[in-house]
Structure formats: structure tokens, C-alpha cells
């Protein structure tokens, strides 16, 4: 197997699921997230230099995923329109909870998270579920660490407030 194919297979095994979740988080649309992930791996296949020249594979994967997701939103319509269109929808991001209370919490969190601006949701996603540090998120989003931390804090505050409202 040529090195590029082996590298691509490894990247797929390590990052396909994470990229899919992140794309879904950004776009709030599962079908769009699938297109983004497909496009991401086609891009990596056609240009292996993207990974070989990079210092952090993970940073490249998430940066490309976010850029492709935002591009796909722009293609569908303008970004604001698309976000507004999907704002009322509750994406099926999370698995159903075992009991009724947890299920209610899940529904509230999903709704609150979907209502956040994309910038804050992306930071929360990368920090909470991908376990990236604020510094790493700042590098891949091209933002100062303090800005990332602020977005995270504001995002959590909104979620907390939203959850109180929903409760």
C-alpha cells in the first residue's frame, strides 16, 4: 500500500468520527456534515501535503473541517440565513438518555447549544468533546487564547441561562 493510502486510512480511523461530529456541530445538519466529511477526505487524498507539512494533524483536520462546513453553509445560502433557518431545529447530536430526567436535560442542552452562535459552539465542542486546550483551539481558529477562553465562558453562561429558562 503506498504511503499516502496508508496515511489516509490511518487519518480516517483516527479522525473521521471527530470530524463528523464537529461538522455536525458547526452546520447543525447531519446531511451537510456528511458532505463535509466526504469533502475533507477527498481533499486530504488529493493533497497529502496538507498533513505532511503540518505540525499538528488534529489542528489541520479540525481547521479544514470548520472551513469546509462554513463554506457548505455559505453555498447553501448565506451563513446567517442558514444558521437562522436551522436555529429552531433541534439537531439529533446526542444519544437518547436512559431515564426521563436525563432525557429532558439532553433535550434542553441540545436546544440551548443549537441556539448558540457558531463561534461559541465550536469552541465549546472542541474543548468539551475533543478535549483541545484553549491554546490549541486558538491556533486552529487563528484566535488569541484569551478570546477562545472568553467565547467558551460566554457560551457556557448562555447555556446555563438558557437551561434555566427552559427548566
Partner 1 sequence: MNIDIESTLRAQRWRDPPPEFLERVLDRALQNVAAPARTSRLLALFAFIPRPLRLPLAACWLLAFFFRVTTPEAIPQSTLESYAKLPPMTPAQLLANRQQIERLADELLQPQHHGVIPPL
- The answer to whether residues 40 and 19 touch, using CB atoms and an 8 Å cutoff, is yes
Least distance to partner 1, CB of residue 127, Å: 9
Query: With binding defined as CB under 8 A, does residue 59 bind partner 1?
Result: no
Query: With binding defined as CB under 8 A, does residue 45 bind partner 1?
Result: yes
In degrees, rounded to 5, the angle at the alpha carbon of residue 14 between the alpha carbons of residues 9 and 20 is 100
Distance in angstroms (rounded) separating the CA atoms of residues 107 and 135: 30
Query: With binding defined as CB under 8 A, does residue 53 bind partner 1?
Result: no
Least distance to partner 1, CB of residue 24, Å: 8
Residue of 56, 90, 105, 111 interacting with partner 1 (CB under 8 A): 105
Least distance to partner 1, CB of residue 16, Å: 6
Between 57-76 and 3-27, two packed helices, what is the crossing angle to 10 degrees?
Answer: 50
Q: How many CB atoms lie within 10 A of CB 36?
A: 27
- The answer to whether residues 129 and 95 touch, using CB atoms and an 8 Å cutoff, is no
Task: Report the residue number, 49 or 142, with the smaller CB distance to partner 1.
Answer: 49
Q: How many residues bind partner 1 (CB under 8 A)?
A: 37
- The answer to whether residues 17 and 61 touch, using CB atoms and an 8 Å cutoff, is no
**Cell triple for residue 132?**
483541545
Residue of 14, 38, 75, 166 interacting with partner 1 (CB under 8 A): 38
Q: Which residues sit at the interface with partner 1, rule CB under 8 A? A: 2, 4-5, 8-9, 12, 16-17, 20-21, 34, 37-38, 41-42, 44-46, 48, 92-95, 102, 105-106, 109, 113, 124, 128-129, 156, 159-160, 163-164, 167
Amino acid at each position: 500500500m503506498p504511503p499516502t493510502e496508508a496515511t489516509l486510512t490511518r487519518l480516517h480511523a483516527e479522525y473521521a468520527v471527530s470530524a463528523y461530529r464537529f461538522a455536525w456541530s458547526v452546520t447543525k445538519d447531519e446531511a451537510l456534515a456528511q458532505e463535509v466529511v466526504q469533502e475533507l477526505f477527498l481533499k486530504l487524498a488529493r493533497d497529502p501535503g496538507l498533513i505532511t507539512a503540518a505540525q499538528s494533524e488534529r489542528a489541520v483536520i479540525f481547521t479544514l473541517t470548520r472551513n469546509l462546513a462554513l463554506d457548505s453553509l455559505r453555498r447553501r445560502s448565506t451563513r446567517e440565513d442558514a444558521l437562522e433557518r436551522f436555529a429552531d431545529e433541534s439537531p439529533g447530536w446526542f444519544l437518547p438518555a436512559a431515564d426521563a430526567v436525563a432525557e429532558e436535560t439532553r433535550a434542553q442542552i441540545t436546544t440551548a447549544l443549537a441556539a448558540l452562535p457558531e463561534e461559541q459552539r465550536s469552541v465549546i465542542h472542541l474543548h468539551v468533546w475533543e478535549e483541545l486546550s484553549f491554546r490549541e483551539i486558538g491556533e486552529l481558529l487563528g484566535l488569541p487564547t484569551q478570546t477562545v477562553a472568553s467565547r467558551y465562558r460566554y457560551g457556557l453562561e448562555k447555556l446555563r441561562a438558557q437551561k434555566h429558562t427552559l427548566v
